[in-house]
Amino acid sequence: MQKVYEKEDITLFQGDCIEILNKATPESIDMIFADPPYMLSNGGITCQAGKVVSVNKGKWDKSKGFDEDFEFHQNWINACKRVLKPNGTIWISGTYHSIYACGFALQKAGFKILNDICWFKPNASPNMSCRYFTASHETLLWAKLDNGTKHTFNYEMMKNGDWSEDFIKKPEKQMRSVWAIGTPKPYEKEFGKHPTQKPLELLRRIILASTNKGDLILDPFTGSSTTGIMALELGRKFIGIDLEKEYLDLSIKRFEQVFSKKEKQWQ
């Protein structure tokens, strides 16, 4: 375990999230957002920006077979359970390659699933094989410990907030479980791009829905730290963990840019 960055309320660690979380303070985290490996790097191809590219992301994204993959999901979810406050919640993002295993592992660990959110991507990549439907959504699971405690859900903000980017959300109507949010905008990839980078708008909604100012958020697979960037902008504390130095370096550049902008605003 190595702490690679610490500034104000932002901390980044490099290492195995299971090992790090098993040494962390129990019941200390208000909310977890996890985007675990999809186990999708199988030698296939896809289309990005009009170019045919490989779907391979790295060794960390390769499947080791159903049983070993499921054991991995159980282990990191149990490690997250250990550090989550009794009234905290966890979000998990994934495609059909991984999300069902994560959902089963959550329930085996004693979590109650509150919602499954369909994140619809209006600008999703096309299907190159033309042998099945184009994958244009990811599933988000939102869960809490099944212990009778009351979790944070900022209902009024979800109902009456400014969600103008989402053509599905109607003003002054309840937030539904299908969200139309595009993939990351070019400026979000200014310093480089993580292969499964999430859009800032997605994390804005998740953080505003399920946390309050000053809360501590954890991302055990932080990648380029979109979760942390939005946590910082919204006045939350953040801990991010990742195995790959390349993505942590990218995270640090993004954080330094935000801190620099904040400093200029106060000058």
| Mean pLDDT calculated for residue range 157-183 | 96
**How far is it, in rounded angstroms, from Cα 73 to Cα 64?**
12
**How far is it, in rounded angstroms, from Cα 157 to Cα 201?**
15
| Mean pLDDT calculated for residue range 104-133 | 94
Start-to-end CA distance of the chain, whole Å, equals: 37
Band the pLDDT of 7: cuts 50, 70, 90. very high
Query: What is 2-266's CATH topology?
Result: Rossmann fold (3.40.50)
**How far is it, in rounded angstroms, from Cα 170 to Cα 156?**
14
Contact 217, 238 (CB under 8 A): yes
232-263, pLDDT tens digit by residue?
999 999 999 999 999 999 999 999 999 998 87
Band the pLDDT of 195: cuts 50, 70, 90. confident
46-100, pLDDT tens digit by residue?
555 555 555 555 565 567 788 999 999 999 999 999 999 999 999 999 999 999 9
Contact 113, 106 (CB under 8 A): yes
**Amino acid of residue 191:** F
**How far is it, in rounded angstroms, from Cα 187 to Cα 33?**
22
pLDDT at 90: 99
Strand order in the sheet with 111-120: 2-7, 10-14, 237-242, 216-219, 29-34, 84-94, 137-145, 111-120, 178-180
**How far is it, in rounded angstroms, from Cα 202 to Cα 204?**
5
